[in-house]
Amino acid sequence: MRKDLGKVPAVFPMPVLMVAAYDAAGTVQVMNAAWGMISDMDKIALFIDEEHATTKAIRQTGAFTVSIADRDHMDVADYYGIATGNRMPDKFLRSGYHEEKSKHVNAPIITEFPLAMECELAEITETENLHAVVGRIVNVSAEESVLDENGKVNPMKLNALIFDQFQPGYYVATEKVGKAWNAGKEIMKAARG
């Protein structure tokens, strides 16, 4: 029997994304954002509020990075979500983490996180129901420790965090259960008759 749960943001899993940008003074602004998704082969859309210090920094410099948070760095990833740069200007410094400037865009890469998408600001969409920051992915950099023998990211090595909005928590996906664009082939054959 189904039970009504009311209005709940019922999407699982959600990514745990570390969005970072330099502000006009060159200070690193960083936030934890679960509401983001690839929106084209070379674009990412972040559904983040315009009042975040990081959003303001993105507007100022026109570039940002999006790192994938992992199990080993969950504590700091969570800290980046609960502390606000609007009230704590040295939020990044207090974390004790490190940054290096991207070689491709004017934005910081937080070196502790194993994978980063380096993005130019493509557009900011603002409507009554939506505030989206869209970035054009210029480069993706990853630590060799999360790559397989073919130089591709291995999700089992990445240990990417997954956010649960139902019972606020973090998880890690560590089991491959099927192959994309293959698991449904038999149903497709039957449907074609």
pLDDT reported for residue 112: 98
Q: Say yes or no to pLDDT of 154 above 90.
A: yes
Instruction: Please tell me the distance from the alpha carbon of residue 3 to that of residue 5, in angstroms, as a whole number.
Output: 6
pLDDT reported for residue 189: 86
The token pair at 177 is 């259960």
Q: What are 56-81's pLDDT values in tens digits?
A: 999 999 999 999 999 999 999 999 99
Nearest 5 degrees, angle CA 174-CA 145-CA 103?
A: 120
Locate tokens 């060799």: which residue?
144
State the average pLDDT over residues 12-36: 96
Average pLDDT along the chain: 95
State the average pLDDT over residues 134-153: 97
The token pair at 101 is 């400037």
Q: What are 78-106's pLDDT values in tens digits?
A: 999 999 999 998 999 999 999 999 999 99
Q: Say yes or no to pLDDT of 192 above 90.
A: no
Domain range list for the chain: 14-192
Architecture of the structural domain at 14-192 = Roll (2.30)
Give percent above pLDDT 70 in the chain: 100
pLDDT reported for residue 193: 77
pLDDT reported for residue 188: 87
pLDDT reported for residue 65: 98
**Which phi and psi angles does 101 have, rounded to 5°?**
-70, 135
Instruction: Please tell me the distance from the alpha carbon of residue 108 to that of residue 73, in angstroms, as a whole number.
Output: 17
User: What residue type is 83 in one-letter code?
Assistant: A
